[in-house]
Amino acid sequence: MASVKENKKKEASALIHNYLIAYNAIQTIGWSFLLYQLITYYLSQNDAKSDKSLYDTVKYTLIIFQNAAILEVIHAFLKFVSSNPIVTVQQISSRVIVVCGVLMVTESSRESLGLPLALFAWSVTEVIRYGNYTFTLLGYVPYFIKWLRYTTFIILYPIGVTGELLCLYAAQWEIRKTGFLSVQMPNTLNFIFNYSHFLILVMTMYIPFFPQLYLHMFTLRRKVLGGQTPVKKLS
C-alpha cells in the first residue's frame, strides 16, 4: 500500500517537474520573440511601409506572456516551487498593472519613453530568467547563464522600473482628463473611486518595494555567485 502511494507521489512530482520545464521553456521563447520584435521594430524605422507603433507591434506577445507570469504566483502558493509567494506577487503585480491597467487602456503610456525602456529591460531579464529556470529544471545550468541571471539585474531592474514609472505617470495624466474607470458622487452605492489617484498610489508603492526586491536580488547573488551553497529555489 505504501509503495503504491509512493509511486503516485513520484508520478505527480514528475508531472509537475515536466510541466515546469515546459512552462519556463515556452516563456523563454515568448520573451525572446518579444525582444526580437523590439529590435526589428527599431531597425525597420527607415522603412516607409512600416506604420505600426511599437505597442501595436508587440501588444499580443506582451499581453500573453506577461499575464502568463501570473501562473508563477499559483506555482508558489501550490508549492510547485520554493519561491516565496508574497515576494512573487510583489515582483509580478506591478508589471501586470502596467500592461493591463495602463498600456491596454491609455494612448499616452504607449507613446511614452517608458514603453521601450520597460520592454527592453523586461524582455532581456525574462529571457535570462526563464532560460536559467529551464536549465535548472533540466539539471545543468551553464555558469554564463547563471552569471547573467544574477548580474544583469543590477542595470536592468532600474531601467525597467524607470520605464514602468514613466508609463504610469503618462497614463495618470490622460486618465485625469478622461475620468476613465473613475466613479464620482453621487451614485446609488455612495462610492467614489479615482483611477488616476490609484495609479499615483501604485507609483508611490515603488518607494518601499523596489529597494526591498533589489536588495533581495543582491542577497541571492551573493549566495549563488559568492562561493556559498548554491540556491536551488526559483526566485
pLDDT at residue 12 in the model? 76
Q: Region 208-219: what's the mean pLDDT?
A: 91
Distance separating alpha carbons of residues 138 and 141, to the nearest angstrom: 8
Distance separating alpha carbons of residues 174 and 180, to the nearest angstrom: 9
Nearest Cα residue to 89 out of 191, 187, 232, 213: 213
Residues 126-150: tens digit of each pLDDT: 999 999 999 999 999 999 999 999 9
Distance separating alpha carbons of residues 133 and 214, to the nearest angstrom: 19
Residues in the chain, total: 235
Residue 32 pLDDT level (bands cut at 50, 70, 90): very high
Does residue 48 carry a pLDDT above 60?
no
Residues 174-212: tens digit of each pLDDT: 998 887 877 776 767 667 788 999 999 999 999 998 998
Residue 84 pLDDT level (bands cut at 50, 70, 90): confident
Contact 65, 34 (CB under 8 A): yes
pLDDT at residue 228 in the model? 45
Nearest Cα residue to 199 out of 109, 69, 70: 109
pLDDT at residue 6 in the model? 67
CA-CA-CA-CA dihedral for 32, 34, 39, 42, to nearest 10 = 180
Biggest CA–CA distance in the chain, Å, is 71
pLDDT at residue 187 in the model? 67
Distance separating alpha carbons of residues 179 and 184, to the nearest angstrom: 9
* Assigned C-alpha cell, 222: 551573493
DSSP summary character for residue 229: P
Active centre residues (catalytic) = 157, 164
Cis before 208 (ω within 30): no
pLDDT at residue 186 in the model? 72
Question: Mean pLDDT, the chain, as a whole number?
Answer: 89
List alpha helices for 53-138, DSSP H: 54-67, 70-77, 85-98, 107-111, 114-138
- The per-type count for the chain, helices as H runs and strands as E runs, is 9, 0
